[in-house]
Amino acid sequence: MKLRQALVRYLKHSGLSASTLAERAGVPKGTLQGWCLGKRPRNMDQVREVAKFIGVSLDALLFDEADYAALRITTKQLEGFTVDPDGWHRGTLEVRFRHLPGQARKN
């Protein structure tokens, strides 16, 4: 398991503190901070909640296989947005879609 490395890397890329991530993911702060220090998780449901908040699979989080820089926008980019208790960011965003060459289109 590479949970410690994955969490440290995610926190670095997101600009969040461990306590903020714990609060938003709904796990105890001490638990998440312990994982960041290398303690093994006892409750996989809590790890699953963190993975869900981050936006990766449980396997990607446990084995440090995700590209966190591409997954979440930074805290600075979230200025002016509110965060609901369920972890969703509320605000106005502009979303653009484009076709990627070589990708199949579904009609």
CATH number at residue 28: 1.10.260.40
Residue 46 in domain: yes
For residue range 64-86, what is the model confidence (pLDDT) as tens digits?
Answer: 776 655 555 555 555 666 666 66
Q: How far apart are the first and last CA of the chain?
A: 41
The highest-confidence range among 51-55, 90-94, 95-99, 100-104, by mean pLDDT, is: 51-55
| pLDDT at residue 81, as a whole number | 66
Q: Is residue 101 part of a domain?
A: no
Q: Does a structural domain hold residue 84?
A: no
Q: How far is CA 49 from the centre of its chain?
A: 10
What percentage of the chain exceeds 90 in pLDDT? 21
How many domains are contained in the chain? 1
* Whole-angstrom distance, CA of residue 59 vs CA of residue 71: 15
Name the residue range of residue 51's domain.
Answer: 3-75
pLDDT at 34: 93
- Average pLDDT estimate for 17-33: 91
DSSP assignment of 25-58 equals: HTS-HHHHHHHHTTPPPS-HHHHHHHHHHHTS-H
Are 61 and 47 in contact by the 8 Å Cβ rule? The answer is yes
Query: Model-level pTM greater than 0.85?
Result: no
Has residue 34 been placed in a domain?
yes
pLDDT attached to residue 101: 73
